[in-house]
């Protein structure tokens, strides 16, 4: 009867080795996605920089409440996503019915969830990138040690190159994703605050 421990080691080694290519493919896919995301991120950054100095919406709440719309002097300072939300909210006012409040509540929840999902994508890469990099390090290290035991220096060198490069790529993805998550999270908080203030002002009934 064969050695059970040796059999288990062979199975684990086979499973571990088979994960190397999927890990490398995932790292390449994440890197490509991060490049695409970076383009959109910096486009949004430039767009926000071009906005004039932010105004204090709280100073316009009474006017928004009376007119049920945003003054142009406020609208020009808001990001595109907030202006689009206000357009949707205004259209609800035009077709106001018995379920108006429920529709407004659903609209604001959907918008907040959509904005939060934008941050969750990069927040996931913060964890996944370095984890894949670590896997891409440990798997070829095992292959390299096995090759060293057999005296195959070329195979060991190739495995070490893969191990170090996957580590660098994984860490780079994590660092970039953390940077994007921090900035994007701040933008989302600002937009949600503006959305909630505008919604409260537009839906509140005036004093009798």
- The pLDDT tens digits along the chain (208 residues) read 457 777 877 788 788 778 888 999 999 999 999 999 999 999 989 888 877 556 677 777 787 777 777 777 777 778 888 888 888 888 888 777 778 888 888 888 998 899 899 899 999 999 999 999 999 888 888 777 776 677 767 777 888 888 899 999 999 999 999 999 999 999 999 889 888 888 888 887 654 4
**Residue 190 falls inside a structural domain:** yes
* C-alpha distances in Å from residue 94, one per residue of 46, 69, 154, 164: 34, 11, 73, 60
In a domain, 46, yes or no: yes
Q: Is the separation of the CB atoms in 14 and 99 below 8 Å? A: no
Instruction: Specify if 3 maps to a domain.
Output: no
85 within domain boundaries? yes
pTM of the model: 0.80
Indicate the number of domains in the chain: 1
Cα separation of 21 and 125, whole Å?
19
What is the span of the domain harbouring residue 101? Answer: 20-203
Compute the distance between CA of residue 89 and CA of residue 202 in angstroms, rounded to an integer: 9
169 within some domain: yes
Q: Is the dihedral angle over the CA atoms 66, 72, 78, 81 positive or is it negative? A: positive
Q: Identify whether 7 is part of a domain.
A: no
């Amino acid at each position: 009867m064969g050695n059970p421990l040796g059999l288990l080691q062979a199975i684990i080694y086979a499973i571990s080795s088979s994960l190397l290519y999927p890990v490398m493919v995932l790292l390449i896919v994440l890197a490509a996605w991060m490049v695409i995301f970076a383009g959109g991120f910096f486009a949004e950054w430039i767009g926000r920089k071009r906005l004039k100095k932010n105004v204090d919406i709280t100073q316009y709440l009474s006017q928004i409440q009376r007119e049920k719309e945003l003054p142009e002097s406020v609208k020009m300072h808001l990001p595109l996503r907030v202006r689009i939300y206000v357009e949707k909210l205004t259209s609800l006012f035009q077709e106001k019915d018995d379920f108006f409040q429920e529709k407004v509540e659903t609209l604001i929840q959907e918008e907040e969830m959509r904005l939060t999902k934008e941050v969750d994508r990069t927040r996931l890469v913060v964890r996944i990138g370095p984890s894949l990099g670590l896997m891409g390090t440990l798997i070829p290290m095992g292959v390299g040690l096995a090759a060293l035991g057999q005296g195959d220096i070329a195979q060991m060198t190739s495995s070490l190159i893969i191990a170090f490069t996957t580590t660098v790529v994984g860490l780079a993805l994590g660092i970039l994703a953390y940077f994007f998550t921090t900035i994007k999270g701040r933008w989302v908080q600002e937009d949600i605050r503006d959305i909630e203030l505008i919604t409260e002002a537009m839906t509140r009934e005036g004093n009798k």
